[in-house]
């Protein structure tokens, strides 16, 4: 009898635990009876309610989107929340094809003022961006229409991993005023001709880490804007796309200085550019960009593999403007190998008003087999430290221009 009693007690305990796990108060499944979401349907309200309940939970919790395809007109995941949250997406979330059908402007899925969130799962955020791509002419217009797939604003101590962003209408991932956020094993995909679809853009953020991530899109794979500090980009594959860039500094009035950028162990394939720093002429403010290091990079048929361009102006309206006031210093390009799709494989063109300082070019081995000239390089307003380069890459057209008249 004692043995039978113990067996029944164990069975009852096991059954109770299984029942409790099925109704775990820390898991908020959008397809549960509480929220009623179903594959093929619009889950905008169900997901919002699940988030609100999870955010109010006093203990760590999880919002789950199971396998399947769901319509989503928009999501605004706002904090602060009472405890850490994981948003676990296993299915595919589809945006409306038209931005006019979104619940908010310029953002499809947004995270704001949240601490310790994990976005995970094998799911996909499908922005369905073909319609705005066909209407945009970003090379001639400063404004490119389309919503951002995933926007992180004032997010801290968080991780985004294993999810995919597909065919965003505008930037895939936009990071602003965030601290200590890691993106790992993220997959970003859009056609090479999709306009303004930067993979991950970082602005005014600190301690952002992008690692073991695959990005193929129609603009920069990774773009790093002003006010960004201590940013690491490692083990990223890029292509198609425009490369990995320190992005368009010196354009706006409220810009902040940038420092501590490291790009390492990355491979770029068939991209328009490689690794680059670009600043606009006629800068409204005198800011700095310093301690920027590109190392152990493989280039495969990359146009313009190595670039510093302080005369950047894609709109062809910058003739005779004052030079850039962005001061670039302590920059290194080390162990960069592979093939260039253009004859000008290395271009370091600095501002005549604020020449680059402490630029290092080390162990750069690039080849060019095209029919438009021979492999060459260009340097302007800079005297780099050079070692381990063939003569064609050692600033073959090195020029130092006099400072402008005041």
Enumerate the active-site residues.
219, 242
Are the CB atoms for 164 and 119 separated by under 8 Å?
no
Distance CA 131, CA 377 (A): 40
End-to-end CA distance of the chain: 102
Burial bucket for residue 217 (CB in 10 Å: 0-12, 13-18, 19+): buried
Q: How many CB atoms sit inside 10 A of residue 30's CB?
A: 24
DSSP 392: G
Distance CA 198, CA 224 (A): 10
CA distances, 229 to each of 213, 262, 286 (Å): 20, 10, 17
Distance CA 302, CA 268 (A): 7
CA distances, 160 to each of 90, 186, 213, 230 (Å): 14, 8, 11, 18
What are the residues facing 184 on neighbouring strands? 161, 211
Copy the structure tokens of residue 404. Answer: 């402008």
Distance CA 383, CA 368 (A): 24
């Amino acid at each position: 009898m004692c043995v039978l009693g113990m067996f029944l007690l164990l069975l009852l305990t096991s059954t109770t635990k299984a029942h409790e796990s099925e109704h775990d108060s820390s898991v908020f499944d959008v397809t549960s009876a509480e929220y009623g979401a179903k594959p093929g349907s619009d889950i905008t309200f169900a997901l919002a309610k699940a988030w609100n309940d999870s955010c109010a939970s006093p203990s760590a919790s999880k919002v789950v989107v199971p396998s399947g395809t769901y319509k989503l007109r928009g999501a605004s995941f706002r904090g602060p929340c009472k405890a850490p949250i994981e948003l676990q997406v296993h299915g595919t979330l589809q945006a409306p094809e038209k931005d006019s059908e979104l619940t908010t402007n310029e953002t499809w899925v947004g995270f704001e003022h949240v601490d310790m969130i994990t976005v995970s799962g094998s799911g996909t955020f499908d922005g369905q961006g073909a319609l705005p791509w066909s209407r945009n002419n970003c090379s001639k217009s400063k404004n490119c229409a389309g919503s951002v797939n995933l926007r992180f604003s004032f997010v801290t101590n968080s991780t985004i991993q294993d999810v995919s962003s597909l065919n965003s209408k505008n930037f895939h991932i936009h990071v602003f005023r965030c601290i200590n956020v890691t993106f790992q094993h993220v997959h970003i995909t859009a056609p090479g001709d999709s306009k303004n679809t930067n993979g991950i853009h970082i602005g005014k953020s600190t301690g952002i880490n992008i690692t073991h991530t695959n990005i193929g899109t129609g603009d920069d794979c990774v773009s790093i804007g002003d006010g960004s500090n201590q940013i690491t980009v490692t083990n990223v594959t890029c292509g198609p796309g425009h490369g990995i860039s320190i992005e368009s500094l010196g354009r706006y009035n409220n810009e902040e200085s940038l420092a501590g950028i490291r790009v390492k162990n990355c491979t770029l394939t068939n991209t328009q550019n490689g690794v680059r720093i670009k600043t606009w002429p006629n800068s409204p403010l005198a800011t700095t960009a310093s301690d920027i290091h590109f190392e152990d990079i493989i280039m495969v048929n990359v146009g313009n593999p190595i670039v510093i361009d302080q005369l950047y102006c894609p709109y062809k309206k910058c003739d005779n403007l004052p030079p850039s006031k962005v001061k670039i210093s302590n920059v290194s390009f080390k162990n960069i190998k592979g093939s260039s799709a253009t004859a000008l494989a290395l271009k370091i063109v600095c501002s005549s008003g604020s020449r680059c300082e402490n630029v290092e070019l080390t162990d750069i081995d690039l080849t060019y087999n095209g029919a438009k000239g021979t492999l060459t390089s260009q340097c302007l307003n800079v005297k780099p430290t050079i070692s381990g380069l063939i003569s064609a890459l050692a600033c073959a057209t090195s020029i130092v221009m006099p400072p402008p008249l005041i």
